[in-house]
Amino acid sequence: MLCIQVKKMLPEYVLGEMDDKNYGQIKQHLDHCENCRLAYNKLFKVSALFDKLPENEPDTIVKIRFYKMLTHFSATALQKRQQKFNFAIGNLWARRFVPQMAVAVISLFLGFLAGYTFSTNGETKKQFLVLQDQVDQMKQMVGISMLQQTSASERLRGVSYSRSIQQPDQTLLQTLLTALNTDPNVNVRLAVVDALYSFHNEPNIREQLVQSLSQQTSPLLQIALIDLLVDIREKKSLEALRTLISNQTVSDVVRQKAQWGIQQLL
């Protein structure tokens, strides 16, 4: 190979990914030609310097902004899904939402009955109350069965359905709490946090929410729970918040949030 050819190919040789044949020929040439070796050394020195370029550490603000964006995005996605659900009822009620429709029909009937009852005697009123109780039970059962579906979107529907129940019984609340701690889908868990907000005055819920904060590992959930606990001013969460702050494996953003939570609660 001529020097002029070699020199032309030197950058490619230095940058790597050259085919074996050319590589071998140039290597051989460099062993013998001082002039070309000089040119090679210059290119190599600059090329190798890239490995010495410092890797700069981004500021924590990058992380905080990212998780803020992610939380916002997940919340919006959840809302959209729920809107889709409302729309879907119109199409699918006959096949999939018979129980809900039954509840709706009975409720409607109850409405009529109520109007009627106020103007009549105690016996009818008693029957009315029995009937209302049965409707409530049925609603709870629908909610629970939806929460136990294998598809995450079904479970999401179950959560939003459960929110509409005025007086949840222990079984429904327990199903929601189990979902909060064990549901594999983070969107479902986030929706449960929202739903439990409406039920935070039911017995044991506050304690369970505090307990859940120590169990969650997803930053999204941790942040949502901290927000909720601060909102309902649950001072019993202070210890859990302190534990989060001292745990080095917990994300910085969450630890900052926990710090904020403590300031709010004190």
**Residues contributing to the site for Zn ion (CB under 5 A):** 3, 33, 36
Q: Which of 119, 146, 223, 66 is nearest to 241 (CA)?
A: 223
- Residue 31, interface with another protein (CB under 8 A)? no
The one of Zn ion, another protein, none whose footprint includes residue 3, by CB under 5 to 8 A per kind, is: Zn ion
Q: Does residue 55 bind another protein (CB under 8 A)?
A: yes
Q: What phi, psi does 233 have (nearest 5°)?
A: 50, 55
Q: Map residues 67-86 to x or -, x wherever contact with another protein holds by CB under 8 A.
A: x-xx--xx--x---------
Interacting span for another protein (CB under 8 A) from 27-35, 53-61, 204-212, 227-235: 53-61
In the list 1, 3, 5, 15, the residue contacting another protein (rule: CB under 8 A) is 15
Burial 132-155 (b: 16+ CB within 10 A, else e): eeebbebbbebbbebbeeeeebbb
The reply on whether position 20 binds another protein by CB under 8 A is: no
49 binds, among Zn ion, another protein, none (CB under 5 to 8 A by kind): another protein
The interface partner of residue 15, options being another protein, Zn ion, none and the CB cut-off 5 to 8 Å by kind, is another protein
Query: Residue 14 binds which entry of another protein, Zn ion, none, with Cβ cut-offs from 5 to 8 Å by kind?
Result: another protein
Could you tell me where the DSSP H helices lie in the chain?
Answer: 3-15, 20-32, 34-49, 60-96, 98-117, 122-147, 152-163, 170-182, 186-198, 205-215, 219-231, 238-246, 252-265
Neighbouring CB atoms inside 10 A of 263's CB total 9
